[in-house]
Amino acid sequence: MKVAVIGAGVIGISTAYELAAQGHQVSVFERNGAAAEECSFSNTGVASASYAAPWAKPGMISQMLSHLWQRDTPLRLKHPSMAEWHWLWQLRKACNGTTFVRNRQSMLRLAEYSSLRMRTLTDTLNLEHERSTGFMVLLRTEREVKLMQPSLQVLRDAGLGFKTLNSEEARAVEPALNPETTLAQAVYFPEDEVGNCRQFTSLLKNEAESLGTIFHFNASVRPLSRAQPKTIRTAANEMGEKFDAVVVCAGLASAQLVRPLGLRIPLAAVHGYAISAAVREPLDAPRSGVMDEQYKVAISRLGQRVRVSGGSEIGGHASRHDAASIQTLYRVLDNWFPGAARTQDSVQVWKGARPMLPDGPPIIGASGVSGVWLNLGHGASGWTLACGSARAVADSINGKSPDIDLQGLGLERLHLQP
């Protein structure tokens, strides 16, 4: 089949590769000048099946409200629009125990499958990108330990391996952790990993090209037409190019692309920040990756650099940086790994819009419109979920049953079929 993939982030590139590997003639359309220029450019680097979880969970709203006026808050509201307030209202409705457990299980199922697929691709294709194994969640207080228990129970029920560590045991895993910073407990996931998403995406793009995939960069796709949903147009008045199937993987822009098809997908831009700096002293830097649960800040070791990522901003704009959010990243880094990075020079500061659905899981699979497929809404877990989502969509397009159950990951859960 002749298939168009819209978007060249890690989701789109993974999808293009899987389709090309199954023998399809694939064309990728990307509005930027290169692959992995938006969310895939400078994300946390954490690929953790264990930590992939919905925002919408019991107690989330009270946590959000309690954080709003803190200096180092993990969430900031920047004059949200009416659509964004509505999105927050939808999130609130999904914050019940039953919905959380169901969505957590769906994301965990996909994340485990995706982790396996990513390792298979990395090994079989010799994709040599910066990566290290092990990921640890740092819990500063007993209250955080208590709040973590429902998520850990889901992991136990799924048979997923993890270890709860006291402060001494945690510092044995990450010796550079500051001994003066209070640590009540850590949750260690030895099978998870930290990796360079942008490098991986670029290498997989090359593999897709070797299989015949054609890339169209600086090509902004027009919203799909209800009359001709499988025709790709990059200008208002052109006839366009016809395909047998179209896969929408365009991040936040996906909602606008499919709106003429009668789909109202509630995607919101949850902006996040990252700073990347060269390692100052290897013995003072993390070996792999950690997550500060209180501030929702990840600190990852990517080769000879340290990346600090976090902050969730609703209502902001990608071109406007919030100084307080960036300072939080520096403070958390200094709190856990003082002196680890050269933060006085050549620091890369990044802000990106993570496309998130209010209940948490992405939408992967059929759109309800013949020939149009969806692979979108992965939020902060895009790097974790990319390879599994791509393979499941490619198998579905190819008429095969995916290797995982896609229940809870389709459009039907939002009652949005046209």
Q: Residue 127: what pLDDT?
A: 96
pLDDT in tens, 208-248: 999 999 999 999 999 999 999 999 999 866 789 999 999 99
Instruction: Judge whether residue 63 has pLDDT over 50.
Output: yes
Sign of the four-CA dihedral 361, 270, 353, 327: negative
Q: Output the six-digit token pair for 62.
A: 């009270």
Class of domain 2-414: alpha beta
Q: List the Cα angle 206/211/214 in 5-degree steps.
A: 70
- Give residue-wise pLDDT tens across range 85-107: 999 999 999 998 888 889 988 99
d(CA 279, CA 265): 41
How far out from the chain centre does Cα 154 lie?
20
pLDDT at site 67? 67
Q: What is the pLDDT of residue 375?
A: 98
The more confident residue out of 199 and 346 is: 199
End-to-end alpha carbon distance in the chain: 24
String of b and e for 325-345 (b: at least 16 CB within 10 Å)?
Answer: bbebbeebbbbbbeebbebee
Taking the domains of the chain in order of start, what are their residue ranges?
Answer: 2-414
C-alpha 306/C-alpha 230 separation (Å) is 43
Number of H helices, E strands in the chain: 10, 18
Q: What is the pLDDT at residue 325?
A: 92
Asked if residue 418 has pLDDT above 50, the reply is: no
Given a cut of 90, whether residue 272 has pLDDT beyond it is yes
> For residue 415, is pLDDT > 80?
no
